[in-house]
Amino acid sequence: MKVHELDISWAMTAEERQHLRWELIACDQVRGVFLTAREDVLAVLYAGDRLAFDSWARTLEPQPNTKTEGAFR
């Protein structure tokens, strides 16, 4: 197990923070989550390797809605 930094700068709303909380709880590889000195970073004790962590972390961020993105340009 290793500690990895998780950028959570995208989780600004209460809904996004709740989504993040549930994703952290649901992941079997996450063994612990700790606050850091930075508001936009969590320290995550992760049971997998760095590549697995990076892949998992990318799934956390909400994907842009491609149907409406750019519709008002």
Tell me the pTM: 0.78
- Residue 10 counted as domain residue: yes
CA quadruple 4, 10, 14, 19: dihedral sign: negative
Predicted pLDDT at 72? 46
Tokens of 13: 């709303």
Among candidate residues 5, 9, 11, the one with its CA nearest the CA of residue 23: 11
CATH (domain of 51): 3.30.70
Q: pLDDT tens-digit profile of 12-59?
A: 899 999 999 999 999 999 999 999 999 999 999 999 999 999 999 999
Predicted pLDDT at 61? 84
Strand residue runs (E) in 1-73? 2-7, 30-35, 41-46
pLDDT at 65 over 80: no
Query: What is the domain extent for residue 20?
Result: 2-60
Q: What total of structural domains would you count in the chain?
A: 1
